[in-house]
Structure 1
Amino acid sequence: MTTVGLLYPGHSAEDDFPALQARLGDRIRLPLVHTSVGEDAHRVDALLDLGGHDRLVEGARELTSAHRPDAVMWACTSGSFVFGWDGAREQVDRLAQATGLPTSSTSIAFVNAAHDLGLRRVAVAASYPQDVAEHFVSFLQRGGIEVLSMGSHGIVTAAEVGTLGREQVAAIVAGADREGADAVLVPDTAMHTLAWLDHLEEVAGMPVLTANQVTVWEGLRLTGRGVPDDLTGLGTLFRPRVAR
């Protein structure tokens, strides 16, 4: 069975992943280890601390010894993109060296997923405060993705984001300025989305990429076994596509 190990900071929407695993009938395993958190704050200094190597490698050692994953994901968007394009890649490269396993992060997954779908212009619907959301925009731009609009919702803590329900998340997506965009990108692994992806795409009228969704997709891709083409209810990203 394909196993994607998740390093997840704190406690917010981590139940998204076991719920997905159960829904898929245990066709994939998504074991999760919580990494330590200094301060739960969507603030740049706190996020740089959150994504520090010592915190991540401690969790990675526990994850690999207990669950023997095929690949490892740093399941955090803000705790990766705040390091910038080069810093985010160094972050996962160091983790890969420590574990000997293919490793990526949610921020990198957003870029890879967007390119896989052929997306060039996107709208961002961010839960974060404005200054943090702007770091995500810069990261996407470095990855060759044009951001046409960015909505910031000013939520300071992951704990608060984790309390948002389906219609609140849908309202965030619906509120994005989508004119000219190919898709809506919704960062933050603290936000529940995996059970609602098809609904979110109906609301948007276009593909929607969310943090927990791209995290799972990227992890499956990294295993080298490919992404199963019959996983339903997970949005456009998981639907079969004609090879380009």
Structure 2
Amino acid sequence: MTALGLLVPGEAAEDDYPRLEQLLGSDVRIDLIRADPAGDPPERLAARTEELRLAGADSVVWASTTAAVAAGWEGAHGQVRMLARAAGLPASSTAFGFVHAARELAVSRVAVVTAHGDAAFTEFLRAGGVRVVCTAPLGEDLAASVHPAAHEDAQALFLPDTSLRTVAQLTALERRLGKPVLSAHQVAAWEALRLTDRRVNAPELGVLFTREPVVQV
């Protein structure tokens, strides 16, 4: 059994995670601990991370894309180091997961759809070698919001918002767009698996979960 420890911001569309766990298979478990990305001081986040270790997690991922991106490239590295020290486990964040997943898929140009301002995420991706070629605001209808991904220069679509319930729509979106679609919850789980050197073939979770080998960075 591989246990993935996710430190999640509030109740960020948590009902996506049981479906993720089901699609990953019976030998993968997802452990969730809630945290407040705006109000929790570093020592509080460290304590919450310790709870994941005690629950038996094999890796830890800080699943607030916004909080990691707001810290900047170097600041986000500092967050990850703090979590790794607190848990005594390999650690990362969803924000870095997007960068690592892009490398896994050999993607360097992406479209981004988000309800938040895209400037900070765009800069974060740029620091990781990924260029955002077009962006669009997230509307009430996800399927209607993804039109920027049709941009001929975009090799993939990124959906970084943790408030989005996307797991059930990933494969349909990929078929419609003809390119990979990466969402926050999907990427958080993939990044947690990457930290454990596990590979899970789960086509219903999109192209990201059908490739070999696991990227090493």
Same fold (TM over 0.5): yes
Change (3 A) 1:50 1:174: farther
The unaligned stretches of length 5 or more in structure 2 are: none
- Paired residue for 1:7? 7
| 1:125 has 2:113 as partner | yes
The offset of 1:179, in angstroms, is 2.5
Deviations 1:137-191 (A, max 9, x none): 00000001111112134x8xxxxxxxx6xxx222222354522111111101221
| 1:234 has 2:205 as partner | yes
Of 20-29 and 192-201, deviating more is 20-29
Change (3 A) 1:92 1:121: same
Aligned-partner Cα distance in 1 for 2:122–2:41: 21
Residue identity in the other structure for 1:231? A
Aligned-partner Cα distance in 1 for 2:207–2:2: 21
Aligned-partner Cα distance in 1 for 2:98–2:214: 20
Verify the 8 A CA contact 1:13 1:189 in the aligned structure 2. Answer: yes
Deviations 1:106-136 (A, max 9, x none): 00000000011100111111121x3xx2100
The offset of 1:60, in angstroms, is 0.8
- Paired residue for 1:220? 193
Give aligned pairs, total: 215
Of 143-152 and 105-114, deviating more is 143-152
Aligned-partner Cα distance in 2 for 1:213–1:4: 12
Identity within the alignment, %: 41
Alignment TM-score, normalising by the size of structure 1: 0.81
RMSD (Å) for aligned C-alpha atoms? 2.1
The unaligned stretches of length 5 or more in structure 1 are: 38-46, 156-163
| 1:84 has 2:72 as partner | yes
- Paired residue for 1:197? 170
Residue identity in the other structure for 1:146? R
Structure 2 residue matching 1:206: 3-state secondary structure: coil
Q: Which structure 2 residues correspond to residues 54-203 of structure 1 after superposition, within 5 A?
A: 54-65=43-54, 67-128=55-116, 130=117, 133-153=118-138, 168-176=141-149, 178-203=151-176
Aligned-partner Cα distance in 2 for 1:175–1:121: 12
Aligned-partner Cα distance in 2 for 1:243–1:99: 23
